[in-house]
Amino acid sequence: MNDNPQQFQPSPADRPDLDWSQVRETVMMLNLAVAQISNAMQDGDESVNTLTESFTSMMDNIGAIQSVADTLPAESSQQDSITQNCNAISSQMQTAIVAFQFYDKLNQRLGHLTGSLASLGGLVASPNRLYNPQAWKQLQTDIKSRYTMESDKAMFDAILKGASIEEALRLSRTQDKREEEDIELF
């Protein structure tokens, strides 16, 4: 009995033999894409969490500064200046919070993408499902059901109807603009 683990592993693309499979190579590349996207999302989440904590602390500090300013004599130039600067900072922070909402949208899309790629990899890796049209239809149905944004659903439908990537992106961006108009700014 040979204890060499290489003997039982499938052949890689750089050393193909009769056991080499483009399907296995495709699944490995899909898994790599899922891992890279997941890693990027985790890095982004950590950064956004740090920023969120900083903004919360800054808002608390603005409140404290404004409270002190309120104790100054009414109509003093210092009170007016402090209040104006606190209001300006609060406004800028509100703009940043809106940017966080768009980051959340990006994060949702990347999450859907990782799930879709993982599901696709699972289907391609399964010989019983790979050539089964119902399995492909179920994959498409499952992927579409995860979408929460109408723009993503519109892009999905356009691609399945044969639209080019550029056409689907144009349609999605148009829908995105409609959705952005509905975003509530606070």
Percent of all residues in the chain with a pLDDT value above 70, rounded to a whole number: 85
The contacts found for 7-14 with CB under 8 angstroms, 24 or more apart, are none
Checking if the pLDDT of 117 tops 90, the result is yes
Checking if the pLDDT of 136 tops 70, the result is yes
The pTM for the full model equals: 0.68
Burial label, 82 (beta-carbon count in 10 A; 0-12, 13-18, 19+): middle
pLDDT tens digits for range 67-111: 998 888 877 888 889 989 999 998 998 888 888 888 888 888 899
Q: What is the pLDDT of residue 6?
A: 43
Q: What is the largest CA-CA distance in the chain?
A: 92
Checking if the pLDDT of 185 tops 50, the result is no
Q: Where are the domains of the chain?
A: 22-146
SS3 for 95-134 is HHHHHHHHHHHHHHHHHHHHHHHHHHHHHHHCHHHHCCHH
Selection from 105, 100, 92, 97 nearest residue 186 by Cα? 97
